[in-house]
Structure 1
């Protein structure tokens, strides 16, 4: 019956017109031709579906990369020049900075290829192809298949398909589930390991507004950085830096438009959105609202305040913690906004009403009742049980692993298991210890023990105060008995005696690791106690409650899609390549407050405050802006536009994504979402959700006029084609571009032996 239901849903999707809202959805490029292309044309798209995604020929997909597994980038020249956000390049920029040559603070542009800076460990993935493999993964599986057997079969088939697609290491490949395990898709990528930093503005430009402006509109942030991808002389991927590597020649790079945008212009965002949970049931939303987010906010706020306190007192500490602070602060504010938004928009109430309607629909048909009848009840029971242990899970990740020395200690757990084995494998121990040397090098580069000691004491105290006593690790009893319950005293003991807070002592231990020394280290002893407690007392109970949740979620999502046949759903984001489309749009944030769709450089001058580090404007930038020296990057209204907003559907991971007009030209860089729609990962609000973008003309102005790196702009393909395609009037066919407008031609080259794109 499951198979028949799945097939029925598939046939309905094939036969029904695509009526999903264009502004909601992170769509798989493979399916754009069938599901979205006609709607995109009505909004102003001039490209064919094949020019967006084609497995045999060059297309837009070939200009898009996943950067490091956490951000998006796009090629903007035929010499492998890559554009992404400043906050995506932040760690790389910081890693090349010293107190003597602080390029994070001062900015940097390579004047020659030899000045471009290598970044070991950083990589980009470029999509080769994707394929719907749902039928192959689910073959022979029925509703009667036991869940454990189903899971084993699915996982085995996913591994086998991915392994076969790698072609002996030539590609990176994986199979990801969609719609809670109702569909499966294979993704095949080329991975390039030689990624070099080319340029970035000063932090005061690339992070203008800091935490105050984060997740807010209006924005005036030049959130960009430049990298270059290098390859072997035959244009193939390499695993890392090599002196004889040459700039990669992409199959396609994005031409850059200087035309600018107008309200209602077509916009498309291509990238790798990280994670959404729009199918999360009401019980899951309530748990997030009540427990998970408040705990995350509290623990991150504590950590950030202590880091800032020490960073304000010592520039060297600030530099060490700059990237870590930015990463933690970003989602600290996000969790605050998400909770406020859930309350304001009554997200839980809306989901509860949706589930009530679904339950009524299920009850109307005995066959539906047999298939889906238990799903909602199983979901609610699972979350009720998980609620008892949820805080323990959050405090493990945000408090224990939020303390740097404990997080580092957790990396030694595999070595610990090898050392305490009945018959220790010395070769394996040596290999693990050698691997940890590199990890230690990276850890100590940006570590300040005195700061971490304060964080340790504060977070462990909160752990002790907030988590149920019966769920706490045994080490907390030691703190109570031997240190009078003072985490301050215990922290002083740990940091005075642990070899894990000293690079030299850690390296000495790794030269000849012993079980006795590791077990006696107070930092490791604490982490080991926390991990042991979680594995023995928390995890089994969480898993027991979660046991039926995957099946219940799968049936719940299948039922929703079967009930709402008039809606074409897009799958939740899961770090796979997606496309969203919409329009440039202003919005009303609240009563009597309406936001324009663009910002200008005047806003930089209005926000400028030399006494506030978040709003410092460099002297040269002040001089250029006051003189209105905008050059060729000025808008037709004579101002320099710094940013604009669209209703494109994005989330974390889309950072650095290109914003593309109807002709396939780059018009901006997506870098943020707006405060009023912070619930977007859980529930989409078409009236409020906006994608915040840096105007590409401001980016180029910062490179050429402010940064003095005109040679990088000259390397790009610059176009000025006339009006950006806007929406087509209702009932009209998509209009051809006017005489001044030229659709971007994407050069195609047929490759031998490649299959045509798979379809449903």
Structure 2
């Protein structure tokens, strides 16, 4: 039995470095073992061409896109490829019923037609530096978790600010790794003038919509094209008609050769967050609280939104971006909870933890420090269970629910003392929210969520507004909501205008929406206070667990959890077996689009314009066709990615662009917690399909001419 447990632990210890195709590796800390593994798997370019802080390298072609996605620079004039869903908000903001770029797509045939997006930026990584010693030197014996956190946060901020003080065009950010056991400084340069150049119609970029989201086989052309602009000295600059295309340090070449089963494939991007080191207690809490709250509450909200979006084009355009964002996390939560159960993730975690307990017991130094590690974790997760459950539903129901509450909190927290640029940006963001708000829909959502929250939590977690509903409105939630919206000045920009102009007849704190917002924030603060001690102990013990795992397997090549910093993952292009008797191939073609259109006739998620169907049916794919004359649409690899990797470049062994990562697969949705080598796949859109759409459908051959095409002699 002991041998069996040891083998289980060794194989499933978050399967860290158990397979060469697992891991989100830091480029600034790419050790010899990882470089050698990549070379053995087929990497042809030297590691020095992947990352260098002194010379142009592949990392200089990869950007953080807007802080929520990734992208890749593909031309000397700053063209950036990213996902359609990453550019979705920008496309939506430029769309109207008369010019419906979401439905019909967008093409800029000249630089003057490219559309600015003042809220959008791209971020280039310049270098990374280990600052662990400097950060942890400030931690003193006897500090509790709050004191430790405050001290560390202060020195992290100081180190980051030192960068911008030396060069105002740079941003320094210190991030925690390995649960707060290591700290690295990343130095970035941001460019704030980013313009929309090309977007396919949503029938391409979102083909399959919610139905196909997180699914394989996939046939979605999930891409869009933007361009970075700079001043005439190639330096960052806010939008100006005088700006010129940015000239990058490194341009990613584009491959027309495609891939085969077993082809080497690496992904470079900015994955958001993973919890590979999280304890089994933490996973249970995540499933039952935050995930389940998203499933329950967003399901109610989205059903209302979707009904109205399907009935009116004006609402579809207004709500498209926020529905897309909300539903993506909603379905993700469904998939994560399903995969955790189906793949027995908790059993595997508990087996690893049992082996760690044995090691602690048998190692004198560890036993003295960590004897109560797991009992403390279990106790503190239990102590905050009910409060954490209520808080998860509270946040989804109120802070992520009715948009009137979100608007009131944005206005309440408006900072007039910030930099002029920031103040203007925040003001524009609020105005944009008003532009995309329908009050009747929001009132229906608010009413439905009030009922849903009441049904999901104990009475002690109901905010005071429920007493108002029960006593003044006879328990009728809709009557309360109608009254609130009728009495508040913040339902339209008029109230915002009166506030900004400091209208003496309007007192912001007397507005019922503001009063409600304050009551809700106070309630949330009270929840946090009640959980404070347990939460502090959990943070501390999860950090100790993380460090103990690394000591127990000291010879392992560990990678840190994702934290929105640039990461490299690598592996191979390959299919998989989702269940007994089924085999999934490693690529899809346009034939699948035509088949799905017929199979799902009448379903708006699979509607495609007749002219596009005609183009795909012609079979005339030219230089973008694969070896069999078909048009590949998507492909899969066992690269290790997560949210934030959307738009990440997928490169071949020579560092040439094969496509863009845009999704994971349904069967391995628990991958943020545990990597499953037999199941986990990255779904990418084939760059040849992207180019075909740009040239043949968009008639934008001028963009094709900007690219550095690579093809091997045949």
Q: Same fold (TM over 0.5)?
A: yes
Are 2:476 and 1:477 aligned? no
What are the residue-to-residue correspondences of 1:541-552 with 2, within 5 Å?
541-552=530-541
CA distance in 2, matches of 1:432, 1:89: 22
**Correspondent of 1:600 among 583, 586, 589:** 589
From 113, 118, 121, the counterpart of 1:120? 118
Change (3 A) 1:255 1:451: same
Offset of residue 20 of structure 1: 4.4
Give yes or no for the alignment of 1:251 onto 2:249. Answer: yes
Match of 1:294 among 282, 292, 300: 292
Please state whether the residue corresponding to 2:583 is helix, strand or coil. Answer: strand
CA separation of 1:486/1:44 partners in 2, compared to 1, >3 Å: closer, same or farther?
A: same
Matches within 5 A, 1:292-691: 292-401=290-399, 402-414=401-413, 437-512=427-502, 517-535=507-525, 537-609=526-598, 610-691=601-682
Q: CA deviation at 1:651?
A: 0.4
Cα deviation 1:493-516 (Å, max 9, x = unaligned) = 112221111122332233225697
5+ long unaligned stretches in structure 1: 1-17, 419-425, 723-739, 741-760
Aligned length: 694
Does 2:176 align with 1:173?
Answer: no
SS of match in other structure, 2:684: strand
Is the Cα–Cα contact under 8 Å of residues 256 and 716 in structure 1 kept in the other structure?
yes
Asked if 1:198 corresponds to 2:197, the answer is yes
Deviations 1:253-287 (A, max 9, x none): 11101101100000000000001111111111111
1:547 Cα deviation from its structure 2 partner: 1.7
Contact 2:117 2:196 in 1 (8 A): yes
Contact 1:126/1:191 (8 A) holds in 2: yes
Q: Distance in 2 between matches of 1:76 and 1:33?
A: 28
Q: Which moved more, 1:29-38 or 1:51-60?
A: 29-38
Contact 2:207 2:606 in 1 (8 A): yes
Contact in 2 for aligned 1:405/1:501 (Cα 8 Å): yes
CA shift at 1:521, angstroms? 2.4
8 Å CA contact 1:20, 1:569 repeated in 2: no
Change (3 A) 1:61 1:333: same
Conserved in 2, the CA contact under 8 Å of 1:434 and 1:510?
no
Note the C-alpha offset of 1:194: 0.3
Take 2:417 and 2:156, find their aligned partners in 1: how far apart are those partners?
32
For residues 421 and 273 of structure 2, what CA distance do their matches in structure 1 show?
34
The worse-fitting range, judged by mean Cα deviation, of 81-90 and 471-480 is 471-480
Q: Is this contact kept in 1: 2:410–2:430, CA < 8 A?
A: no
Q: 2:25 corresponds to which residue?
A: 27
Q: What is the CA-CA distance between 1:525 and the residue it aligns to?
A: 2.4
**For the residues of structure 2 that align with 1:280 and 1:261, how far apart are their CA atoms?**
35
Counterparts in 2 of 1:561 and 1:515: CA distance versus 1, 3 Å: farther
User: Post-superposition shift, 1:435?
Assistant: 7.7
8 Å contact kept, 2:129–2:186 = yes
Q: What is the alpha-carbon distance in structure 1 between the residues aligned to residue 57 and residue 330 of structure 2?
A: 37
Structure 2 stretches of 5 or more lacking a match? 1-15
2:17–2:558 Cα contact (<8 Å) kept: no
Alignment check: 8 A CA contact 2:280 2:349 kept: yes
Pairing of 1:204-215 with structure 2 (within 5 A): 204-215=203-214
In the aligned structure 2, how far is the partner of 1:291 from the partner of 1:338? Answer: 13
Q: Which residue of 2 aligns with 1:753?
A: none
**Structure-2 separation of matches of 1:432 and 1:625:** 46
Calculate the aligned-residue CA RMSD, in Å: 2.0
SS of the equivalent of 1:274 reads coil
Q: Normalization by structure 1: what TM-score?
A: 0.88
Q: Report the Cα distance in structure 1 between the residues aligned to 2:106 and 2:619, rounded to whole angstroms.
A: 23
Alignment TM-score, normalising by the size of structure 2: 0.94
Residue pair 2:411, 2:496 contacting (<8 A) in 1 also:
no
What SS does structure 2 have at the residue aligned with 1:173?
strand
